Chains A and B, each alone.
Chain A
């Protein structure tokens, strides 16, 4: 592959015009490569310092109410047995992104994985065996050269959907989200202003209701909840991908819409809320662009089993890992000082079971859309 690229570069280079953003990215990539040459010339061990993406290197800013990345860095050296391979992969990903920039094209994470995957000369070893290996390296490169995925011309699979009283422009096409049928508008992975334009005047909705997964979203959409309550309805297919989070962030800030979440009553649901609200540990460098500190947690609550008078059959026992996770979450700095949250988590542990949003169906098929959510909104009964 390395041999092929110079031949291909020359014809491809001329016609593509780099945007100012691309130029900045390109400069960072070149800087990375120059570092290697410099080290080799000085007969020194080449290395990169990658900001560390671990819990120990994130800081909760009480003022901004988001998770921010600290200054901790991990040195990745070429001449270190345990790091040599990841160093090589880092360089490969950087070179792959450079080629994408050169050719003015974007590709999916999986596409890049295939672009870079090959057998290392004279061995039976592959550069990458698994897409996950490639994905983490991409995140490393993002923090390393301080450019987000979009700037590297990479995108993820579309995940999550939206429906509601809003009209947006996506790559020049006007999309009326109140006329999306049963499937909804698939939220793309890149939702930057160049791709999606939001306009306050074209939005009638009063708030955003984010639900955890497609099945629940389906229920709300079928009951035309967004119509009766004049809102926007989104879901993130579990842990919301960056596209969904970024879009929620933009709508929240640009259209001034409050965000309410309806998630499962389990540690996983708490964590999804935590990510939406404060940002994730892994992608702490993007919190600024994605976190919505004002997001509210509508439900399900651990008191709902009694409050809604649910039957025993909907209980799901907590596993050991659930309990461990719950205790971990309780200790996160952004939950630690919030008494309602502490009692919420303790209550769940005391219950010793978890509840999915679907469990409300046991009351009535549309209980969640007709009773549960409207009541919570009416009473302004939520966790913050």
Chain B
């Protein structure tokens, strides 16, 4: 069709419908008599500019508001990301409050507050009520957000689905008044509409007076010297598990160990992720584009927009890594001189320069613009949040893809036995006492991190309890059954490796299969590291892997920022990182296996020694106890290796980390004493009193 219309160009002006008719005469006989439906003039009347906000209001799936479940997550995510970016930029250790509250069927109110620098009064409406308004779009620097769409889109979604305005309260300093706004986005004009204070917002004076105003208006605000709180009410669905707010916040806490998170979910459970690092990550530097990463169109645009200067100057000031020598080479290859003024260049020159760049070797970009989390902090973050006994981390040296520097970091947590198996009877009784869950299943899921619904179901089934039994009203006999079931059920059975993906410290939760990280994890052979893995599947076992890619420009596969594109350079670095932590895990597991075998061995012998000595004494009347003791001594001698382990620490199987030479960046802990493994519910009880 396109080809035919081009050919007929000279004739088209006369009558479009005619040419159309002749082009497809054989298949559209009835159309011959078709009337002109519209004229150019008539059509022009309905041709008008589309506002960005209108476009996104209709295409909200592009921004991650496809369904109520995802809408909730995206809202929280955008707000938290913005808060973190703001705090870090201002050099403040972030503390964030997330509160989700159900207000009706399928309606939730989401409030997110930070202790950031606050926002100036006149900027508040623009930031929260105008799409594509932001500070991060025009620079090449590692940050979480990029476009300036997120939070205002969330607000827009909220207004559209519930009609409730976005409420913002922001405070810059303890001495100055805080500003309170209720905003709606005008989708037609892409302009904020302020609803309260006759279109000017409300000022809340500092100190005592302010507190009473806050109370009077029913504004939610955790008192802070400075910070911002945004409250959005939206149509949403609250879920747990994969792709949930819980998971997002947990993963955020892992990758951002300098953040303190308070999270109150709709069922009134409070989660607190305390920061494990008191230092902010160093500030990422803004860099100029590297020539290899610039496409020809962008280059032409840069030339066009440039002020009057020589080519040499242009190269030096607008790009990174072009030394005068390389600049000369480039000019030579593009058949221009170094002194040529940029303004005199045209499109074909740009093309030549682009070709020249591809042929000349330019040193890779500086990588100090990236700020990785660091092995130390990854270990701390993982340990804080993921229950386990073994942790390892690896930060790869920076690499470059298409002229963009990037860096890969990998963390691994291995949890031997599930928290349910480490609980003592006394602790279980206590936990049962203090829980406020309604069923045993719920109790198990909420109390023991990482157990999940399936594990809980298994335990309830083995314990032979009814599904809807109340945990506080269990009879002593049933409690015992539950306890035994918890010990017996191997929850880790059939458990798969959990992969947490991060780009610039933001967890990626969707499109797992399309992501370069998942693909690389699948493509790595884990069998050599002591995990079992079927062909082309995730390895099995209680393992969590986190992979973080930090870059000034993360190559996402799509606008929704959910999966990372598979550049070979990136995949290679990921693989090397995975192998680094895998090797350490392998060493740990092999060592553990050996000690375990020894102690298993002894256990087997011990079991039979009594029988053997009993049988012998029946036959020849030897003293049974005496013989038993003697055989026991032989058993000790035979299994002496396990004995050494016993004596050192007084526990049956205990590793001495110093003895195991696993290199740096490994953390080995006693899983039974892990704080993150068990959720206590004291907080809620205090609230009620």
Contact partners of A81 in chain B: CB under 8 A: 601, 604
Cβ of A196 under 8 Å from chain B: no
Task: Scan residues 8-47 of chain A and give those whose CB is less than 8 A from a CB of chain B.
Answer: 9, 29-30, 32-34, 36-37, 39-41, 43-46
What is the chain A residue whose CB lies nearest that of B629? A40
Cβ of A92 under 8 Å from chain B: yes
Q: Smallest Cβ distance from A125 to chain B, in angstroms? A: 7
Report the Cα distance A34→B605, complex, angstroms: 20
Report the Cα distance A221→B617, complex, angstroms: 52
Q: Smallest Cβ distance from A86 to chain B, in angstroms? A: 10
Q: Are B615 and A45 in contact (CB under 8 A)?
A: no
Contact partners of B614 in chain A: CB under 8 A: 1-3, 95
Contact partners of A99 in chain B: CB under 8 A: 618
Q: Are B616 and A36 in contact (CB under 8 A)?
A: yes
Cβ of A371 under 8 Å from chain B: no
What is the chain A residue whose CB lies nearest that of B600? A81
Q: Smallest Cβ distance from B638 to chain A, in angstroms? A: 5
The stretch of B274-282, B315-323, B368-376, B619-627 that contacts the partner chain: B619-627
Q: Are A127 and B611 in contact (CB under 8 A)?
A: yes
Contact partners of A45 in chain B: CB under 8 A: 634, 638
Report the Cα distance A2→B615, complex, angstroms: 6
Cβ of A315 under 8 Å from chain B: no
Contact partners of B627 in chain A: CB under 8 A: 36-37, 40
Report the Cα distance A203→B631, complex, angstroms: 58
Q: Are B615 and A94 in contact (CB under 8 A)?
A: yes
Q: Which of B601, B615, B635 contacts A91 (CB 8 A)?
A: B615
Contact partners of A85 in chain B: CB under 8 A: 604, 608
Cβ of A98 under 8 Å from chain B: yes
Q: Are B601 and A88 in contact (CB under 8 A)?
A: no
Task: Scan residues 589-619 of chain B and give those whose CB is less than 8 A from a CB of chain A.
Answer: 601, 604-605, 607-608, 610-619
Cβ of B189 under 8 Å from chain A: no
Number of interface residues of B (CB under 8 A): 27
Contact partners of B635 in chain A: CB under 8 A: 79
Q: Smallest Cβ distance from A85 to chain B, in angstroms? A: 6
Q: Are A92 and B617 in contact (CB under 8 A)?
A: no
Cβ of B477 under 8 Å from chain A: no
Q: With A2-B615, A84-B608, A120-B611 given, is the CB distance from A37 to B620 under 8 Å?
A: yes
Cβ of A123 under 8 Å from chain B: yes
Number of interface residues of A (CB under 8 A): 39
Q: Are B619 and A125 in contact (CB under 8 A)?
A: no
Contact partners of A95 in chain B: CB under 8 A: 614-616, 618-619
Q: Are A79 and B611 in contact (CB under 8 A)?
A: no
Report the Cα distance A78→B639, complex, angstroms: 13
Q: With A36-B627, A40-B634, A44-B634 given, is the CB distance from A78 to B615 under 8 Å?
A: no
Q: Which of B610, B612, B621 contacts A36 (CB 8 A)?
A: B612
Report the Cα distance A34→B613, complex, angstroms: 11
Q: Smallest Cβ distance from B641 to chain A, in angstroms? A: 13
Q: With A40-B630, A45-B638 given, is the CB distance from A33 to B620 under 8 Å?
A: yes
Q: Are B630 and A91 in contact (CB under 8 A)?
A: no
Report the Cα distance A99→B619, complex, angstroms: 8
Q: Are A125 and B607 in contact (CB under 8 A)?
A: yes
Q: Are B611 and A43 in contact (CB under 8 A)?
A: no
Q: Which of B617, B620, B631, B633 contacts A2 (CB 8 A)?
A: B617
Q: Are A88 and B616 in contact (CB under 8 A)?
A: no
Contact partners of B619 in chain A: CB under 8 A: 29-30, 32-33, 91, 94-95, 98
Cβ of B637 under 8 Å from chain A: yes
Cβ of A121 under 8 Å from chain B: yes
Q: Smallest Cβ distance from B512 to chain A, in angstroms? A: 41
23 A–B contacts, CB within 8 A, in A order = A2-B624, A6-B621, A9-B618, A33-B615, A33-B616, A33-B619, A36-B616, A40-B627, A40-B630, A40-B634, A44-B634, A45-B634, A46-B634, A78-B608, A78-B612, A84-B608, A88-B612, A91-B616, A92-B611, A92-B615, A94-B615, A99-B618, A120-B608
